[in-house]
Homo-oligomer: A and B are copies of this chain.
Amino acid sequence: MTFDEVLADLQAQARTTKHAETGLWVAAQLRSRIEAGKLKPGSKLAEEALREALGVSRNTLREAFTALHAEHIVTRIPNRGVFVAHPTADDIREIYRVRRFLEPAAVLWAGEAPLEPLEAIVKAARAAATAGDISGMAGANQDFHRALVNRAGSERLNSLMDQVLAEMRLVFHSMAANPAFHQPYVEDNARIVELMDAGDRAAAADFLSAYLGRAEAQLLAAVER
């Protein structure tokens, strides 16, 4: 590595270093608790209580709120406060509109990226399925779809997909969870990798698009009940 390369590396490091340290930390704390389901959809995030619990100032807390709001994880109602987002039917439609765009496109047009990560995730999902590990299956499913988009190699598409998947987790938390929901998708995902491996990316994209449509319909039916 030349000296110039070291300089460039140091500069990149410096540019990506955390600068709003505390605010981001608070946002991460809240995010993890929301995604773990400890803060349920609809819950109000009272400023004063959180401020004291976290030991930060109101300004810092509100900075964290802004970040979570941008991620669609919380809802802001003016002069009323911040609430854990409670995805509606329209939100679910929007989520799947994005997914039916991003994921088939990734299957079709991210050709040169390796398939090994996908195969590894399918393997893990099968292991979780035989072990009856529901949350393991759910996690592997999310990992699979994230990895699919990740093959495009775009930072912005990755973060869009991360946001959408985070909202998906909120959807699961906001309805009575059906333990068997993720089961059929283990083999569906395996089939997609199989088709891609065989070079038939068009068929893989079609199959994926159809199954995203099925999943959407299933969630819409569940949420409208």
Contact = CB atoms under 8 A, between A and B. Distances in A.
A154 B101 contact: yes
Contact of A154 (B20, B97, B109): B97
A7 interface: no
A1 interface: no
Nearest to A11: B77
Interface in A151-186: 152-157, 160, 163-164
Report whether over half of chain A's contact residues are helix, strand or loop; otherwise say mixed: helix
Given A15-B77, A75-B15, A76-B19, A156 B98 contact: yes
A131 B37 CA distance: 59
Contacts of A9: none
A142 interface: no
B109 A101 contact: yes
Contacts of A152: 97, 101
A17 interface: yes
Nearest to A153: B97
A100 interface: yes
A199 B160 CA distance: 30
Contacts of A109: 100-101, 104
Interface string A99-132: 0111011100100000000000000000000000
A142 to B, nearest CB: 18
Contacts of A98: 154, 156-157
Contacts of A66: 20, 63, 66
A98 B161 CA distance: 13
Contacts of A198: none
A70 interface: yes
B94 A155 contact: yes
Name, among A79, A97, A101, A157, the residue most crowded by chain B CB atoms within 10 Å (CB to CB).
A101
A101 B110 CA distance: 9
6 contacts: A14-B77, A19-B78, A63-B66, A70-B70, A101-B106, A101-B109
For the complex of A and B, the 5 pairs showing the least CB-CB separation, nearest first, are A19-B78, A97-B154, A105-B105, A101-B105, A98-B156
